[in-house]
Structure 1
Amino acid sequence: MTGGGTADGTVGKALAVLDQVAAFGRPVRFGELLAASPFPKATLYRFVQTLTSQGMLAFDPERQTYAPGLRLVRLAHAAWEQSALAPIARDHLDALSAELGETVHLAQLDNAQVLYVDKRNAAKPVEMFSQAGKVGPAYCTGVGKAMLAFLPDAELAPILDQQSYHAFTPHTLTSAAQLRTDLEKTRARGYALDREEHEPGIICVALPILSQTGRVLGALSVTSTTTRMSLAELEGHAPLIGQAAGRIAAEAETWRFPDATGPRLQHETRA
């Protein structure tokens, strides 16, 4: 577990414990948490007990394990409805997926990482890393690079410093300098490319979802495999992806700043 949350005091430390529990991907015993925790046993126990009493963690007395609690589910649902692009983008993802028959991803930046908020599988699905709700690296994914390329430099610089630049494949960009060069090309052409940079055989074209003022709201991508098509063929879908991204951005304008009697109520009825 990283110590990134410790600078924010007690709340940051408690959130770091929640992150640690979630990272196991299964119910976890206190001893397992302690073995991976930077906190002393008494401190960790206090955080775990408080989080459990507040419903942020759930304790199974038979198995003596902890797991994310139902209060988190309620908060996640609220965040999904109020902060994620997924609710307004779902129809556009459905239409793009039906037209192209390839995997479609919707993502947003989560600090220095990519959060996949929705996904449509290809007509012939292929196993890959991305799933809705999963966090991935920004520097070697199409959606990540599409968003980074359109950030103001003041926002981009600290994010680049936080990338790991781990070489997942022989094609991965492994330095901030390489990534900056790629982002300049991305901005010039208007879309990002994933040339098997995160997973072997997986290629991607991604476009940013931008507000009217140019603020990055998220990214939309179409992903395929090198056995199914070439990257050049996949690039041919960029105009369609861009049109869908534009429609999502247009709806996001009224969604984020709703009229109490207008578009928001219509959206809530549709949802």
Structure 2
Amino acid sequence: MSDTAQGDGTVGKALDVLDQVAGFGRPVRFSELLDASPYPKATLYRLLQTLTKQGMVSFDPDRSAYSLGVRLVRLAHRAWRQSSLAPLARPQVDALSRTLGETVHLAQMDNAQVLYVDKRNAAKPIEMYSQAGKVGPAYCTGVGKAMLAWMPAEEQERIISQQSFHGFTPTTLTTAEDLRAELAECVRRGFAFDNEEHEPGIICIAFPILSGAGRVMGGLSITSTTTRHSLQSLQTMVPTIRTAVDRIAEDVENWRFPDEIKERA
């Protein structure tokens, strides 16, 4: 059971069930949900009925299966426009993709995970895990470490405490102590690396997107392969990436807090 479900009563439980339906990635039968659910049969059924009535879940009587509802599509579209960096960052992401010819990732922190909100493939695309809309681990991705490194200490510790520290590759950081040391190095360096820590052969350089007050709004990375680049060669892109990141931060802050920007001017 998620922390949300434990702490927020019926609403938290309903959201937990919604996450469970989404997690299957396909229409799912009640029996499958029940097998994986922490809730009794009657409670799960009641929550599904409520979600269905509200359009958050749809039920196909022919297949006796539940799937995500159309109302979620509307909400997701509005959330993408209002809360995601993607629409505002698109011009800079496009320009970086054209200029550097490598994969560009734009991400935000979703609880203790990295949520990829936009992606541009390299001129010569490479197969990798990340896709817009997917979540990934914070402790072994470039954008995850870039965002973590610049967070306030208390928030950083909260997220570190929720990491699984699974060893995906021989270079994955697998302890909180190693991660803290790496985050301090990121701040000293000014950016983060992914040194084949999530996927073999995949490396990246990543920067935090910071507000004028230093608050982490997101992260951006340039990702390549060890056959095309080294961590050292990726550093030659730093000035170009930093300029793009600064422009994204300015555009986002101007859009979110226009009155404050005018007052400071």
Q: TM-score range by the shorter chain?
A: over 0.9
Matching of residue 36 in structure 1 with residue 44 in structure 2: no
Shift of 1:24: 0.7
TM-score w.r.t. structure 1 length?
0.94
Question: Which residue of structure 2 aligns with residue 224 of structure 1?
Answer: 224
Shift of 1:4: 4.5
Question: Which residue of structure 2 aligns with residue 72 of structure 1?
Answer: 72
Question: Which residue of structure 2 aligns with residue 265 of structure 1?
Answer: none
What are the residue-to-residue correspondences of 1:52-201 with 2, within 5 Å? 52-201=52-201
Shift of 1:167: 0.5
Following the alignment from structure 1 to structure 2, what is the Cα–Cα distance between the partners of residues 123 and 28?
Answer: 38
Task: Give the aligned residue type for 1:145.
Answer: K
Shift of 1:235: 2.0
Following the alignment from structure 2 to structure 1, what is the Cα–Cα distance between the partners of residues 21 and 143?
Answer: 27
Task: Give the aligned residue type for 2:47.
Answer: F
Matching of residue 234 in structure 1 with residue 237 in structure 2: no
Task: Give the aligned residue type for 2:92.
Answer: H
The C-alpha deviation readout for 1:62-93, integer Å capped at 9, x for no partner, is 11111111111111111101100001001110
Number of aligned positions between the proteins: 260
Question: Which residue of structure 2 aligns with residue 17 of structure 1?
Answer: 17
Following the alignment from structure 1 to structure 2, what is the Cα–Cα distance between the partners of residues 168 and 4?
Answer: 28
Shift of 1:3: 5.6
Following the alignment from structure 1 to structure 2, what is the Cα–Cα distance between the partners of residues 64 and 131?
Answer: 30
The C-alpha deviation readout for 1:98-123, integer Å capped at 9, x for no partner, is 00110000000111111000000011
TM-score w.r.t. structure 2 length?
0.96
Cα pair 1:3 1:38 within 8 Å, conserved: no
Cα pair 1:209 1:219 within 8 Å, conserved: yes
Question: Which residue of structure 1 aligns with residue 8 of structure 2?
Answer: 8
Task: Give the aligned residue type for 2:254.
Answer: T
Following the alignment from structure 1 to structure 2, what is the Cα–Cα distance between the partners of residues 196 and 111?
Answer: 24
Following the alignment from structure 1 to structure 2, what is the Cα–Cα distance between the partners of residues 4 and 51?
Answer: 17
| Structure 2 unmatched ranges of 5 or more | none
Following the alignment from structure 1 to structure 2, what is the Cα–Cα distance between the partners of residues 235 and 166?
Answer: 27
Task: Give the aligned residue type for 2:147.
Answer: M
- 3-state secondary structure, aligned to 1:172: coil
Task: Give the aligned residue type for 2:89.
Answer: A
Following the alignment from structure 1 to structure 2, what is the Cα–Cα distance between the partners of residues 129 and 204?
Answer: 13
The range that moved more, 231-240 or 104-113, is 231-240
Matching of residue 244 in structure 1 with residue 244 in structure 2: yes
Shift of 1:95: 0.3
| Structure 1 unmatched ranges of 5 or more | 263-271
The C-alpha deviation readout for 1:45-77, integer Å capped at 9, x for no partner, is 000111011000011111111111111111111
Cα pair 1:143 1:221 within 8 Å, conserved: yes
Question: Which residue of structure 1 aligns with residue 49 of structure 2?
Answer: 49
Cα pair 1:150 1:216 within 8 Å, conserved: yes
The C-alpha deviation readout for 1:232-263, integer Å capped at 9, x for no partner, is 1112212211111100000011111246xx9x
Aligned residues with identical type, % of pairs: 68
Following the alignment from structure 1 to structure 2, what is the Cα–Cα distance between the partners of residues 65 and 257?
Answer: 44
What is the root-mean-square deviation in Å for CA atoms of aligned residues? 1.2
The C-alpha deviation readout for 1:121-164, integer Å capped at 9, x for no partner, is 01111111111011111000000000000001011111110011
